Structure formats: C-alpha cells, structure tokens
Structure 1
Amino acid sequence: MYKVLVAEDSTVDAKYIESILKEGEYNIIFAKDGEETENLLKNENFDLIILDVVMPKKNGFQICREIKKNDKTKNIPVILVTSKKEEADKFWGKMQGADEYITKPFEPIDLLVAIKKCLKK
C-alpha cells in the first residue's frame, strides 16, 4: 500500500483524483492548501505527492521546491497537476524539482502512467 499526499484546493479535482486512485493500492491523504500540505509533510511520511500548483497560502511550485530541498523529503516523487499549461510553467515546475508535470484536464491514464513511473524510481 502506497501512502499518497494529494494537495488540491478544488473539491471536484480532488474527488476526480481519488476516483482514479481508488482501485489501486493507495492510502490517500488530502490537503486543501499549501499550509496544510507543509504540516502533513512534517508529521507523516509519504511515498508520493500529487500537488496542484494554484492553491491558497502557498502554491505548488513553492511546496515542491521545499520538498526537494529538505533531506527528509527530497526523495519523495512529486507530480504537479495543474491548469498552468504554458511551456514556461512546465519548465519552472521541473526547475522546482517536480518528477512529472500534468496539465488539467487530463485523462486517468495520464496520471496512472506518471504514478507508475514515479514509484519505480
């Protein structure tokens, strides 16, 4: 069973991600903003993090950068899932340390392939 942190402020998008992952071996923990995400990361260990970019209090780029700078969390794969579709956004996401970058709307298979890739590393 993989422990997955999903940081997503949209209830609709969080439910969509949950529906995609519910058939797999995933224990999903949700955070609604950057601050809640940071608190969960301090207190729990995760196998994978799925991060929205546009969130209240702290955005996904900031959280991703902090995850990858921290010795305790730097090896956790991060998938950015966002409506930010520009090439500059994708480049910036990768510069922050994201392992995968998926733009909304996306098909379930896109997320599942990214997860499999990340968990094999």
Structure 2
Amino acid sequence: MTLADCYDPTGERFGIPTFPWRMAPGGYATRRQLRARGLRPGGQDVAAQVLRPRRRREPLAAYLYRIDRAKPVRPMTPARWAALRKANSAQQICPNCRRDVGYRIPRSHGMCGSCIAREEQRAA
C-alpha cells in the first residue's frame, strides 16, 4: 500500500474519510490529542482515520474524532479518586505471599518479583 492508496477523503473505499499519515485536515484529532486539550470524544463515532503504510504488514491506523463535537473531560471527584486508590492498592497485593509490594503487579506475571524468583529457583 502506498501513500496514494491511503487517500480517500469521501470514504468510498474505506467507509470513512481516510487520509495518509500526518495529512489529516484541521478539525480532527486522535483520542490522545483530544486529551491533551482537555477534551474527550463524548460518545461520537469515529469521524475519519489516517493510515500509515508498512512494507510487509497491514497499514497502521489512527482513528480521528471531530474536535467541535468533543466534550470537556469530566473532573475527578473525591469519590472517583478514592475508587481509583482502592483499585490500585488491590493490584499491589501479591496473591501468593499476600504482601503489599508497593507497585502494581502485572497480570502477565500474576505474582511479585520475589515469588517469581522463588519459582525459578524451584524449577532449576
């Protein structure tokens, strides 16, 4: 796929307006760009996309939202802060040794670093 293949401003080919990477017109932004401006998509559907061709794989896609339809980010209330603290602290307790390790335990590991080291020593 070439840059020319990524240009479909009417949306005939891809179903939504599509532009080559870094060539989207003004008025559109990705989720991260909206967040940097203190905005969120606010329930709107994807308005357009940008595609970045790659040699051997499918092109990378970034979805765009209309800035004029975006809504302000909801402020964090004390209750939301408390819920976030509670969720994060629950993910810091190792299910094997039941210790609070002080960091969020990755789901891929499922246990703290000390327990992983003990498991590796037993296996060796």
TM-score class, shorter-chain normalisation, is under 0.3
Higher strand share: 1
**What TM-score results when the alignment is normalised by the length of structure 2?**
0.22
Higher Rg: 2
> Whose relative contact order is higher, 1 or 2, with alpha carbons under 8 Å and at least 6 apart?
1
**What TM-score results when the alignment is normalised by the length of structure 1?**
0.23
